[in-house]
């Protein structure tokens, strides 16, 4: 994320400091979650054999919030020792509870999970590599889309939690046309002087400018003023 102009950082940002990436990924996931039909509401259910053991291991590890346990489960069942998105979601959602089983077969299942710290559901897909196997060829976790008002509230909640633990400082503005749906700031420009960031605080965009350039180019192409050329 961009730093306020003139700000005195509390620590040097590095490639290992992924807080802003976690906030951005979680926010986009909430706002742009894949559109998946949600079945009619029903009683919470637990999966049966042979996937129940894998599912219980995954759920226990995910809800523990322990990065080591989460990595171990993903490495064991999916061959993924660094499940970055799952680690971020475990932290941002504060864990999940089983809402219902959306689909079930002998080798695959889809479970809808209710988030503890955020509104809405997560969709978990599990599919065995082979019938009777103890490894998975699919282990996919993704948030379901929310109504606009809930998505905006969830995005603000993520920013608020990150700011509370000093992992984010900046402003967030979401607009539709000329209407501001969210406009809020968090953190301090100058911590020693306790000067708060406002919506008018200048920000260093740095490499974030690439995103604006890409959008502007695509808008010009869409308007017919520019065109793609192949070389």
Identify the residue with better confidence: 27 or 231. 231
Q: What percent of the chain has pLDDT over 70?
A: 77
| 56-87 per-position pLDDT tens digit | 999 999 999 999 999 999 999 999 999 999 99
Which residue do the tokens 């069942």 mark?
77
| 179-212 per-position pLDDT tens digit | 999 999 999 988 888 899 999 999 888 888 898 8
Residue 207 token pair: 């490499």
Strands 121-128 and 136-143: antiparallel
CB atoms within 10 A of CB 90: 22
Nearest Cα to 156, choosing from 66, 7, 56, 30?
Answer: 30
Nearest Cα to 1, choosing from 185, 154, 146?
Answer: 185
Angle between helices 84-93 and 52-64 (to 10 degrees): 60
| 113-155 per-position pLDDT tens digit | 999 988 889 999 999 988 777 899 999 999 999 888 888 988 8
The arrangement of secondary structure in 39-143, i.e. its CATH architecture, is Roll (3.10)
What is the DSSP secondary-structure string of 73-104? HHHHHHS-S--HHHHHHHHHH--EEEEEEEEE
Q: Show me where the domains of the chain are located.
A: 19-28+148-222, 39-143
């Amino acid at each position: 994320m961009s730093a306020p102009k003139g700000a005195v950082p509390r620590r040097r940002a590095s490639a290992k400091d992924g807080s802003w990436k976690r906030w951005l990924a979680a926010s986009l996931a909430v706002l742009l979650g894949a559109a998946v039909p949600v079945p009619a509401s029903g009683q919470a259910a637990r999966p049966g054999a042979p996937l129940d053991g894998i599912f219980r291991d995954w759920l226990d590890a995910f809800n523990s919030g322990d990065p080591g346990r989460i990595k171990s489960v993903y490495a064991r069942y999916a061959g993924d020792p660094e499940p970055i998105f799952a680690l971020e979601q475990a932290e941002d959602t504060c864990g999940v509870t089983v809402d219902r089983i959306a689909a079930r077969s002998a080798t695959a299942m889809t479970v809808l999970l209710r988030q503890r710290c955020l509104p809405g559901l997560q969709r978990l897909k599990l599919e065995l590599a082979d019938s009777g196997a103890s490894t998975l060829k699919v282990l996919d976790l993704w948030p379901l889309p929310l109504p606009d008002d809930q998505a905006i509230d969830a995005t603000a909640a993520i920013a608020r939690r990150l700011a509370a633990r000093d992992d984010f400082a900046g402003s967030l503005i979401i607009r539709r046309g000329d209407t501001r749906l969210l406009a809020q700031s968090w953190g301090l420009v100058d911590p020693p002087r306790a000067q708060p960031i406002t919506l008018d605080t200048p920000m260093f965009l740095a490499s974030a400018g690439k995103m604006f350039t890409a959008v502007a180019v695509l808008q010009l192409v869409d308007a017919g003023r520019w065109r793609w050329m192949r070389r």
